[in-house]
Structure 1
Amino acid sequence: MQYLLQLRSAFAELSLPEALRLGTTLFPGAVCFSTSLGQEDQVLTDIIARSGLPVRLFTLDTGRLFEETYATYERTVARYKLPIDVFFPKAEAVQELAARQGVNGFYESVAQRQACCGVRKVEPLARALRGARVWITGLRAEQNDHRKSISVVEWDADRELYKINPLLHWSYEEVLAHLRQYNVPYNPLHDQGFLSIGCAPCTRAVEPGEEARAGRWWWEQSHKECGLHLQR
């Protein structure tokens, strides 16, 4: 509780880089940032790199990402000269999933889609977070109703770590302004209406007036989370 209050106070009183630096001071060598290489995460990568913060960066490769996402990964590593660890799903688990519900079985039901996300995202995330005490994310409240209910700093009881969402109250316009100001590389699909980018078979462009994550699992009426940011 003491650290939770310290971190919440820091994000209320300090600049974003200063608040993140406090987190790395409180938990040396145990702060990580999960990047999906989307616009929000590119902002945080830029801030971490320019501030020289000792934060471990990682990303999840589900095996079904857009080619543009892989290109963004390469451009980002080249630009910032920072390692971004890549975590893949377990091959045996993917084979078992495909045998059980087919290669594209996620289209058939919410349960089958969540099973796919579990194998390709949730389990690799658990491995990526091993040893971490602080997990930084690029979540924003504007993205959907679920994210309006979370806090900038939370205690994730399931994973037993502090979860920090530094951009939670940023607007999309603020994200774009930062990308322009610092010439941050970003996925070109964003310019084609893809506000939230995940696996290629599960992502479409967003129509005018739709929320940012409407293009994810568009065939479902709700459930616009894959499980990474839902407490069990």
Structure 2
Amino acid sequence: MTQLVTETLRPAPIGVDRIEAAGRLLEDAPPEETLRWAFEEFLDEVTIATGFGPEGVALIDIALRINPRADIFFLDTSFHFPETYELRRQLEDRYQIEIRAFQTDISPEQQELEFGAALWSTDPDLCCRLRKLEPLKDALRGRDAWVTAIRRDQTLERSSSRVVEWDHQWQLVKINPLVRWSKQQVWDYIAKHNLPYNPLHDQGYPSIGCTHCTQPVLLGGPERAGRWAGRAKRECGMHAPAQPAPFILRSEALPPKDAA
């Protein structure tokens, strides 16, 4: 898969040693504790990504119970299912918030003219780059941290993800409060709090992306088997496998906030 390379390396905003320490301390913490730490540590410089999957719905609810002003965004590819856009509206109405949308400047019509029909089929990596990765770069620009709803057991690529880590691809701190949860824990939380969710999940779609690249999955099949079905591809490129922070950044490590 083609990965988007950020323009420049930047030092970790709170110091690599603190990032690694937070990851260790919060490894067994509930999502609420991880999110409280994130909001206290990064204030307005942290943003929450959602794709409106069940994990994203649960994460939004947990986050807004802690910080009703939390910044939340999604990547509008122009190819989402109508049910996905409707779920966004329901969540905005429920919490009285705006979930900010980021999208490419290239319309579907322009994309077809420049790259040919059905780019999602002829070159799905390029399609993801244009419609998801470039907008994500805009969404994260100027931020010190982002929060995601990924789980370790979703894919091999996500299995090494930490609760708190340095995102070498996007050059900021990445926080994954639900990373240890199972799919059942996610659905238990949704049921307990009576949260809305995409009705396509009741029609055989365990994971939902763009209309052209999402198919239903047989009962008991792999969770993301319906994404880019028939290909080895299981990720759009947003979530690179976790790596240790570059050694050169260790010199940028800062003392704890209360040590100043």
TM-score of the superposition, structure 2-length normalised? 0.82
Q: Answer whether contact 1:194 1:205 (CA < 8 A) is retained.
A: yes
**Is 1:121 aligned to residue 132 of structure 2?**
yes
Q: Write the deviation string for residues 5-46 of structure 1: whole angstroms up to 9, x where unpaired.
A: 342144235432222111121112111111001100000000
Distance 1:13 1:172 in 2: 17
Structure of higher CA gyration radius: 2
Unaligned segments of structure 1, at least 5 residues: none
1:179 aligned residue: 190
- Work out whether residues 83 and 198 of structure 2, in 8 Å CA contact, stay in contact via their aligned partners in 1: yes
Q: Any conservation in 2 of the 1:196–1:215 contact (CA below 8 Å)?
A: yes
Task: State the match for 1:26 in structure 2.
Answer: 41
Identity level (%):
37
Alignment pair present for 1:49 and 2:59: no
1:42 alignment partner, SS class? helix
- Pick from 149, 169, 172: which aligns with 1:161? 172
Tell me which stretches of 4 or more aligned residues in structure 1 moved more than 4 Å. Answer: none
Matches within 5 A, 1:8-23: 8-12=23-27, 14-23=29-38
Query: More deviation in 158-167 or 68-77?
Result: 158-167
The Cα RMSD (Å) is 1.7
SS in structure 1 at match of 2:60: helix
Match of 1:36 in 2: 51
Task: Give the match for residue 76 of structure 1.
Answer: 91
Alignment of 1:130-141 (within 5 A): 130-141=141-152
Aligned-residue offset at 1:230 = 2.3
Partner of 2:220: 209
TM-score by length of 1: 0.91
| 1-structure distance, mates of 2:163, 2:178 | 8
**Deviation string for 1:46-72 (max 9, x for gaps)?**
001122255310011100110000100
Distance 2:98 2:25 in 1: 27
Secondary structure at 1:155's aligned position in 2?
A: strand
**Could you tell me which residue of structure 2 aligns to residue 4 of structure 1?**
19
Letter in 1 for 2:75: L
Aligned residue for 1:197? 208
Q: Which moved more, 1:119-128 or 1:13-22?
A: 13-22
Unaligned runs of 5+ in 2: 1-15, 242-260
Matched residues in 2 for 1:73 and 1:67: separation? 10
Q: Quick check: 1:144–1:211 contact (8 Å CA) kept in 2?
A: no
Question: Which of 116, 119, 142 is the aligned partner of 1:102?
Answer: 116
